Structure formats: structure tokens, C-alpha cells
């Protein structure tokens, strides 16, 4: 691979914004990609993937390069040189790379790789927490898996097409996909690519959604015609899946505390041809109380640490704080206890997170079941990334007597 000056400059500019100014990696990458209209898909891919890679390996690369935060521009170039060296990319004779100690970089990599928190490039507290919650062996495997780059996975919108038809339509555009029998609506891209510019996407034939996330809506066991409440709907990834399963029959009430997310959901629902979704902004507790005992099924896709989706969101490793985790666990407990009251007698509830921590998952459910005897656990599923090959997730199906 040959390094191109303007692409490397863009990457370094982006990294400075992410590392020193706390900007979100996805937003920074989005704006970097608009920088030069002449960039082709390979150039854009380089900028996006290199930025994410260096964010993912920030601690490891900083230790190898012997630089400390806040990083100067030269420091970031040194981290860039570490990235290129470890990838086996030949460094051009630019002044930023003068005197790069290629051999020393490889030696330091081997030496530092013996320490998990540095090898896996995570803060000390996160390594301690992972061990406490999952044990040494599972945590080592899980964090290694969470540091892999995520595949691009589509969920076929069965309201508009079938998997076979969509697969053929994408194939005609040179987008090859594979299937996995455990995820009936998923198509996995063989090569990363921007699928958002295709007509198939614009016409609502699919959404981009990780395979593990695609397990949640079917877990709720719903039928067309039911009344379902999606209590933490956000921009509607799972709401849209619920709508497809329900074949547009029945009612889905989509709640969230952020109206702007529900507005995005509305736009996506229109594109998907999903007509049975009613977004309701939670402005006060009245919105919730009105729904007590009214739902056949309730989905609580709870706010969480997001530790199961680090593949997609590597900068969360640096943004998360232990105090946030304490607050989010309290919110989860509160949400589970309040929103479960929307389930009518004989109805069902799914509590789900994209976390791999038992303290956000089964421990929350166990605590809830202890205090709410009218609910029983039907089943739960702990999806670890190293076992599934996809994001880490948790889901529990409860039934109200």
C-alpha cells in the first residue's frame, strides 16, 4: 500500500479532534469524508478505517511511540508511523516520518503485548472491571474480539422485499453478500462498502443492523395485530424490525426521551414502508402512566454502557467513565421497574442491552424478578462477541402472570 499525503493529513487532523477535543469519531469521520470530492471509495475507506484503527489502538500506539496526552500534531504523526509500521506499510520520506525507529517499534510492540490492558488498548479501570465481571479467561477473549473491526451487516426489510431478491439486486451492483442461518434476515457484506448510496437503501429495502441486534425483536415473540410498546426506541433500529415481523398489522408505540431521535425514526419508518408505528415523546410521566396494563408486549432496549458494541464504537473506550456506569445501572433499574407496568396480564417483556457486563444484564433482571413476583423469566441469552463473532448483547424474555 502507498500512503497518499492528503489522506494521511486528513486522518491526522481527524485524530487531533477526537483525541484532544473530545469529538465523536463517527461525526469527525463523516465530516472528513466530505473534504475532497475527488476522493474515490478507496480513499474514503482509507481515511475512515485508519482513523478508527488509531482510535481503537490509541493506548498501545501511544505507549509504543512514547507520547502522552494531550497529543501534539507531531505526537499523532508518531502514532501514525507506529500504525503504518505494524501494518507493514512502507513509510514515505516525509519529514513527519524522519528517524522513525522501525525496529524499536516492533520490539516495543512484542514487549508491551504481554500486558493485556496495553495490548488490548483499554483504560486500567475497564480492564479491572472486565475481570471482576467476567473473570480473567472470558474477559481476555471478549476484549480481544471487541477490538476487531465490525462487519457491515444488513437487515432485509421483509415489508418490501425478500432476502433472495435483495441479494440479487446488490450482486448486480457488485456488492457481494453472505448469509448465516442463525440470522434469518441478515446479509453480511463480503467487503466493506458504502451501501447508503444505493437505490435499494433509498427505497427502504434494508437497514444496516448488526447480527446480534437482529436477535432482539424476534426474542419478543410477537404476532401481527398485537399492541407493542418499544420504550427506548431511539432512532428505531429495533422498532423497524418489530414492524416487519408484525407485517404492518397491529400497533407499535415508540417512546423515547429525545424527540429528535423519534423524528429520525419517523423518517426511517417512511422509507421502510412501516405504517403501524406511533412515536410518542416522553415529555412527562403521564405518557408512561397512560400505557400501564395496556401492552401485549413491551421492549426495553435499555440505555447501557455500550461495551458490547466497541467494534463499531471504539472511541467509547476513552469516553466511558466508571461514574457513568453507576448512573446508567440506576437508570436501568428504574426503567425496568416503571416500564414493566405497561405489560398487561399474560403479556411479555424483553429487557435488552448492548452490554456484556452481568451487572447491567442478568443481575438487573434477577433484582427485578425478586421485587416483582408477578413476572417470571421465560429465557435469556447472553451474547458474547468472541462466541458469536458479532456484537455483544443481552436479552431476557419475561412473562407477566
Ligand X SMILES: C[S@@+](CC[C@H](N)C(=O)[O-])C[C@H]1O[C@@H](n2cnc3c(N)ncnc32)[C@H](O)[C@@H]1O
Among 67, 91, 282, 369, binds ligand X (CB under 6 A): 282
Check: CB of residue 356 under 8 Å from CB of residue 139.
Answer: no
Site string for ligand X, 287-306 (x = CB under 6 A): --------------x-x---
Least distance between ligand X and beta carbon 257 (Å) = 5
- Rounded-to-integer distance, Cα 236 and Cα 215, Å: 15
C-alpha cell at 365: 433482571
CA distances from 221 to 34, 297, 327 (A): 42, 9, 31
Please identify, among the stretches 36-44, 78-86, 231-239, 362-370, the one whose residues bind ligand X according to the rule CB under 6 A. 231-239
Of 258 and 324, the one with the shorter C-beta distance to ligand X is 258
Identified binder of ligand X from the candidate list 81, 153, 195, 232, rule CB under 6 A:
232
Question: Which contiguous run of DSSP H or E holds residue 386?
Answer: helix 385-388
Least distance in Å: CB of 55 to ligand X? 21
CA distances from 155 to 206, 381, 399 (A): 5, 20, 27
* Interface with ligand X, residue 233, by CB under 6 A: yes
Stretch that binds ligand X, among 117-125, 187-195, 236-244, 314-322 (CB under 6 A): 236-244
Whole-angstrom distance, CA of residue 219 vs CA of residue 234? 19
Q: Assess 237 for contact with ligand X (CB under 6 A).
A: yes
Q: Given candidates 63, 256, 296, 315, which one binds ligand X under the rule CB under 6 A?
A: 256
From 8, 232, 304, 354, active-site residue: 354
Compute the least distance from the CB of residue 137 to ligand X, in Å: 28
Q: Which residue from 115, 173, 208, 257 is in contact with ligand X, where contact means CB under 6 A?
A: 257
Q: How much helix, strand and coil, in percent to the nearest 5, is found in the chain?
A: 50, 15, 35
Asked if residues 343 and 298 have their Cβ atoms less than 8 Å apart, the reply is: yes
315 assigned to a ligand binding site: no
Does position 335 interact with ligand X (CB under 6 A)? The reply is yes
CA distance 330 to 276: 32
342 torsion bin: left (phi>0), alpha (psi -120 to 50), beta (else): alpha
Q: What angle do CA 205, 301, 213 make, to 5 degrees?
A: 45
β-bridge mates for residue 156, sequence order: 206
Contact between 330 and ligand X by CB under 6 A: the answer reads no
Is position 301 annotated in a ligand binding site?
yes
Stretches 27-35, 129-137, 229-237, 361-369: which one binds ligand X (CB under 6 A)?
A: 229-237
* C-alpha Rg value of the chain to the nearest Å: 23
Binding ligand X (rule: CB under 6 A), the pick from 261, 311, 329, 400 is 261
| Angle, CA 180 vertex, CA 176 and CA 184 arms, to 5° | 105
In whole angstroms, how close is the CB of 339 to ligand X at the nearest point? 7
Establish whether the linkage from the previous residue to 70 is cis, with ω within 30° of 0.
yes
Q: Report the length, in residues, of the chain.
A: 401
Q: Please select the residue that binds ligand X; options are 158, 231, 348, 364, rule is CB under 6 A.
A: 231
Does 133 bind ligand X (CB under 6 A)? Our answer is no
* Residue 354 a catalytic site member: yes
Interaction between residue 238 and ligand X (CB under 6 A): yes
Rounded Cα distance, 105 and 372, in Å: 56
Q: Which stretch binds ligand X (CB under 6 A): 28-36, 177-185, 254-262, 307-315?
A: 254-262
Catalytic residues: 354
Residues that bind ligand X (CB under 6 A): 231-238, 255-258, 261, 282, 301, 303, 335
Q: Which residues are annotated as a binding site?
A: 256, 301
Q: Which residues are annotated as a binding site for S-adenosyl-L-methionine?
A: 256, 301
Amino acid at each position: 500500500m502507498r500512503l497518499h499525503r492528503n489522506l494521511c493529513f486528513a486522518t491526522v487532523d481527524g485524530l487531533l479532534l477526537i483525541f484532544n477535543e473530545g469529538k465523536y469519531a463517527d461525526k469527525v469521520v463523516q465530516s472528513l469524508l466530505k473534504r475532497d470530492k475527488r476522493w474515490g471509495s478507496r480513499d474514503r475507506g482509507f481515511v475512515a478505517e485508519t482513523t478508527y484503527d488509531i482510535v481503537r489502538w490509541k493506548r498501545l500506539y501511544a505507549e509504543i511511540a512514547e507520547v502522552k496526552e494531550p497529543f501534539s500534531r507531531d505526537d499523532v504523526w508518531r502514532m501514525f508511523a507506529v500504525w503504518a509500521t505494524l501494518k507493514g506499510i512502507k513509510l514515505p520520506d516525509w519529514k513527519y516520518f524522519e528517524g522513525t525507529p522501525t525496529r524499536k517499534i516492533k520490539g516495543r510492540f512484542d514487549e508491551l503485548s504481554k500486558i493485556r490492558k496495553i495490548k488490548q488498548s483499554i483504560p486500567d479501570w475497564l480492564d479491572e472491571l472486565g475481570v471482576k465481571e467476567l473473570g480473567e479467561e472470558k474477559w481476555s477473549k471478549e476484549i480481544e474480539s471487541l477490538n476487531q473491526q465490525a462487519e457491515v451487516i444488513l437487515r432485509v426489510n421483509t415489508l418490501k422485499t425478500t432476502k433472495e431478491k435483495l441479494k440479487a439486486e446488490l450482486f448486480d451492483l457488485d456488492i457481494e453478500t453472505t448469509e448465516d442461518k442463525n440470522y434469518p434476515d441478515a446479509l453480511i457484506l463480503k467487503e466493506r462498502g458504502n451501501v447508503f448510496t444505493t437505490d435499494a437503501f433509498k427505497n427502504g429495502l434494508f437497514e444496516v443492523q448488526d447480527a446480534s441486534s437482529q436477535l432482539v425483536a424476534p426474542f419478543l415473540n410477537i404476532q401481527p395485530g398485537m399492541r407493542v410498546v418499544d420504550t427506548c426506541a431511539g432512532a428505531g433500529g429495533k422498532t423497524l424490525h418489530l414492524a416487519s415481523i408484525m407485517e404492518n398489522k397491529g400497533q407499535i408505540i415508540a417512546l423515547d426521551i429525545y424527540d429528535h431521535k423519534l423524528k429520525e425514526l419517523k423518517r426511517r419508518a417512511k422509507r421502510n414502508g412501516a405504517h403501524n408505528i406511533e412515536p410518542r415523546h416522553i415529555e412527562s410521566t403521564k405518557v408512561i402512566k397512560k400505557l400501564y396494563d395496556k401492552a401485549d408486549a413491551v421492549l426495553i432496549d435499555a440505555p447501557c454502557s455500550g461495551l458490547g458494541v466497541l467494534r463499531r464504537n471504539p472511541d467509547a473506550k476513552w469516553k466511558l467513565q466508571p461514574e457513568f456506569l453507576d448512573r446508567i445501572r440506576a437508570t436501568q433499574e428504574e426503567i425496568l421497574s416503571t416500564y414493566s407496568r405497561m405489560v398487561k396480564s399474560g403479556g411479555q417483556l424483553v429487557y435488552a442491552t448492548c452490554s456484556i457486563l452481568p451487572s447491567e444484564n442478568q443481575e438487573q433482571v434477577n433484582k427485578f424478578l425478586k421485587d416483582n413476583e408477578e413476572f417470571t423469566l421465560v429465557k435469556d441469552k447472553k451474547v458474547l462477541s468472541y462466541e458469536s463473532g458479532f456484537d455483544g448483547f443481552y436479552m431476557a424474555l419475561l412473562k407477566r402472570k
